[in-house]
Amino acid sequence: MDTAVDYAIKIAQDYDAKLVILHVIRTDVNLHSVNLPNYVGEMRKQAQAHLNMIAEKIHEDSNKENILRMKTEIIASVSIADAIVSYAKDKQIELIIIGSRDRSKLKSMLLGNAASDVVRYAHCAVLTVK
């Protein structure tokens, strides 16, 4: 499983917090549209399968005394970072835990990345995980 997810689960358990696992699909298409393009539908299906796998793993690993409160959500945006920051602000999220991909410093400077933009613009604390 994803290291960022592992950290998020541990922190949520330690602080008896609700865990929200967010998946952002990079597209300008409304995911609730009746005429969803096939490629977006496929991305949504893959995202849901991944979220289901995470939820099952959490359920298997949780014990009866410490049941983790959890929510999964899939949203769409042309900017992943903007979507995460906006979602966190709208839902009054207190901590964002996000994975960072290993990129060279040059690529990060030229291209930027979602994790660095989330750190820069989020209203709350952000934990980045390698």
Higher pLDDT, 100 or 27: 27
CATH number of the domain enclosing 124: 3.40.50.620
Whole-angstrom Cα distance, residue 109 to residue 9?
Answer: 31
Domain that holds residue 87: 3-129
Q: What is the pLDDT of residues 44-71, one digit of tens each?
A: 999 999 999 999 888 877 766 677 889 9
Secondary structure letter of residue 113 according to DSSP: -
Q: Is 32 helix (H, G, I), strand (E, B) or coil?
A: coil
How many domains does the chain contain in total?
A: 1
Q: Residues 56, 39, 4, 83: what is their CA dihedral angle, to the nearest 10 degrees?
A: -120
Q: Where are the alpha helices (DSSP H) in 1-130?
A: 3-14, 38-61, 80-90, 105-111, 114-121
Can you give the pLDDT at residue 42? 94
State which amino acid sits at residue 61: D
Can you give the pLDDT at residue 32? 85
Percent of the chain with pLDDT over 90: 59
Confidence band of 111 (pLDDT split at 50, 70, 90): very low
Can you give the pLDDT at residue 87? 98
Mean pLDDT over the full length of the chain: 87
Can you give the pLDDT at residue 65? 66
Instruction: Give pTM, 2 decimals.
Output: 0.86
Beta bridge partners of 72: 21
